[in-house]
Structure 1
Amino acid sequence: MTTVTELAEATTGEDPVTALAAVAALRRLLEELEAAHVTEARARGASWEAIAAALGVKRQTAHRKHAHRIIDGGR
């Protein structure tokens, strides 16, 4: 398994195709982390407004991106 450090280092390598693959892998990891933290934030009662502010996006954007994964009882 490749570590985050190895992926980050690969983004500055000589081969641009390898660097792009590393960027894509980091992007996938960040998306997974964001989803996990949004799910946890909602489970702990955070509002969509608070989540959106933390992500630097509008409430509608955060909700559109993440609400389909979360069964939140209509919060």
Structure 2
Amino acid sequence: MLTSKLPTRITVPAPDDPVAALAAVVALRRLAGTLEVRAVRVAVQRGWTWAQVGEALGVSAQAAHRKHATRLRRAARHDEEVDG
């Protein structure tokens, strides 16, 4: 589970250790992806427009919508089914 507290000190492996360095790259991509999905969900729930989301992510409104809208609709339908 991702928490709001991140470590204050992160050890970055040296690039001369490709196994450790590439494993760190994969872990960072996953963390960034998880954070992006959760932050977009909260932003949309709080009434942000896709233009605002896109601007915050450094992409167009259309790119933000294309990447996240289907996932958000699916999650909302799932929540409705679970809630009743």
- 8 Å CA contact 1:51, 1:62 repeated in 2: yes
The CA deviation string for residues 5-42 of structure 1, in whole angstroms up to 9 with x for no partner, is: 5xx52433641121011011111010000000000000
If the length of structure 1 is used for normalisation, what is the TM-score? Answer: 0.77
If the length of structure 2 is used for normalisation, what is the TM-score? Answer: 0.70
**Percent of pairs identical after alignment?**
48
Q: Which 5+ residue runs of structure 1 have no aligned equivalent?
A: none
1:42 corresponds to 2:44: yes
Number of residue pairs matched by the alignment: 67
Segments of 4+ moved more than 4 angstroms = none
Structure with the larger RCO, 1 or 2 (CA within 8 Å, 6+ apart): 1
